[in-house]
Amino acid sequence: MKKLMITGLLCVALLTGCGNSETYEAADISDFDYVISDDSIILESYEDSNKYLEILSTYEIDGEKYKTNLDEFQVGGGPKTLVLSEGITSVNNSIFNGSDIQSVFFPSSMEYLYDDTLSYLHPDDGEKIHVYYAGTSEEWYLLMKDYETERQS
């Protein structure tokens, strides 16, 4: 029930824009710097100024479908809201470094998320960062992993 309520509330807030008349669509592949490797498209950075960024789990280029890889991706300073589509399984540990993200949505397909990834989120004075997850609270705790550097291990 929690999963449905959180997902439903996020969808309502994102679709209505919380009173904003702006429409929200997933980012087009042309909005990214990327590299194609085998069956994956490795996104590196976002090059548009939209405050809302939805990243799809696959992108089609010239009739070929590529699975989205976010292992090198940095959000950057433009977006305030990041939505990762169902099917995305992992993100760069420092995806939020230098970002202005205020709201982030993680799909239940995420396989792991390092504990220090969220430490890169920096709220404005008096503001809170909103983190949404499509899975259950038990799955969220299993998703979180301790980050160890090579020196620590």
CB-based contact 112:80 (threshold 8 Å):
no
Instruction: Quickly state the pLDDT bin for 11 (edges 50, 70, 90).
Output: very low
What's the pLDDT score for residue 101?
Answer: 94
Find the mean pLDDT for residues 37-66: 95
What's the pLDDT score for residue 124?
Answer: 78
What's the pLDDT score for residue 150?
Answer: 58
Distance CA 46, CA 82 (A): 11
Top-confidence residue, 23 or 59: 59
Residue 84, Cβ density class (10 Å: 0-12 exposed, 13-18 middle, ≥19 buried): buried
φ, ψ of residue 20 to 5 degrees: the values are -90, 135
